[in-house]
Amino acid sequence: MKITNIEEFMGTTIAKDALKKTMGDSPEFDIVYEALIQNSKNKETALVNTNKDEESNYLPTAVGQKLDNLPMKVRTESVDGIYNSTEGKENQNSTVNKGLKVDVNEVDSDKSRIYTAVDKYATQYGIDKNLVLGIIKQESNFDANAVSGSGAMGVMQLMDFNCEAYGITDPLNIEQNVEGGVKHIKEYLNMFNGNVEMALMAYNGGQGTMERRGVKSSNDLYKMPSETQNYVPKVMNYYKNGISA
């Protein structure tokens, strides 16, 4: 890319380093950095074609979408290997937050409902229930009320657009969430001819990220963001060996 303004170049480089430290090697980093580069190009064009004061205050993203509306996920890995979305403060996904008392009976009841829903919808849509349970374990650790900083909701961590696509009216409802998540992974399994690892890459990292990074087979997992590289083998382990307790 030709950058005529050295200050613009330095600013982009510094912003890239700051984003990488905050977001890691994730799909969201790719999106934001691409937007940053595009913004630099647009500024050069804008200086020629229009008054600089009329430039947009927002980095260009998808048509009609502002950067602050992007579903960004900044994740860290906890001791037990479960990924939890954070906002630089205390864990937003965990049911057990500071000062919050948890009803053990309610937690047990939720887990029983989750297993019942998994049995029902895994059978209905022809998926191994251990795969669904593995996704739930890694996504939310069976927390029915999990809501991430990026807006992913429920036991299978569905986004708003997933809920809309699958007709989910209450994403924190266990049965609706499990059915939506099962439909979602089923679509990826069909897309990749039953290849579970490829389907999990898409579920966690996004089909678009796979395409941009040239992922053609499960052997290309190393091309995906580090979060997905960790996610896939952990879910595969649950899938093959089951979940204890």
For residue 153, give the 3-state DSSP assignment: strand
Q: Tell me how crowded residue 56 is: count the other CB atoms within 10 A of its CB.
A: 11
Q: Whole-model pTM?
A: 0.59
The pLDDT of residue 23 is: 62
CA-to-CA separations, 28 to 7, 22, 48, 187, 217, in angstroms, rounded: 25, 11, 31, 22, 22
DSSP label at 242? -
Is the pLDDT at 44 greater than 60? The verdict is no
| Sign of the C-alpha dihedral computed for residues 9, 11, 14 and 17 taken in this order | negative
CA-to-CA separations, 127 to 46, 48, 111, 123, in angstroms, rounded: 52, 56, 20, 6
Is the pLDDT at 97 greater than 50? The verdict is no
User: Would you call 175 a catalytic residue per the annotation?
Assistant: no
The single residue of 28, 44, 55, 139 carrying the catalytic annotation is 139
pLDDT class for 243, splitting at 50, 70, 90?
A: confident
The pLDDT of residue 150 is: 84
Average pLDDT, the chain: 74
CATH number of 75-241: 1.10.530.10
For residues 137 and 121, the answer to whether their CB atoms sit within 8 Å is: no
User: What are the boundaries of each domain within the chain?
Assistant: 6-69, 75-241
Say how far apart CA 168 and CA 91 lie, in whole Å: 25
H-only helix segments in 24-103: 27-49
More confidently predicted of 204 and 101: 204
H-only helix segments in the chain: 6-23, 27-49, 104-125, 129-140, 160-165, 174-191, 196-205, 207-212, 226-241
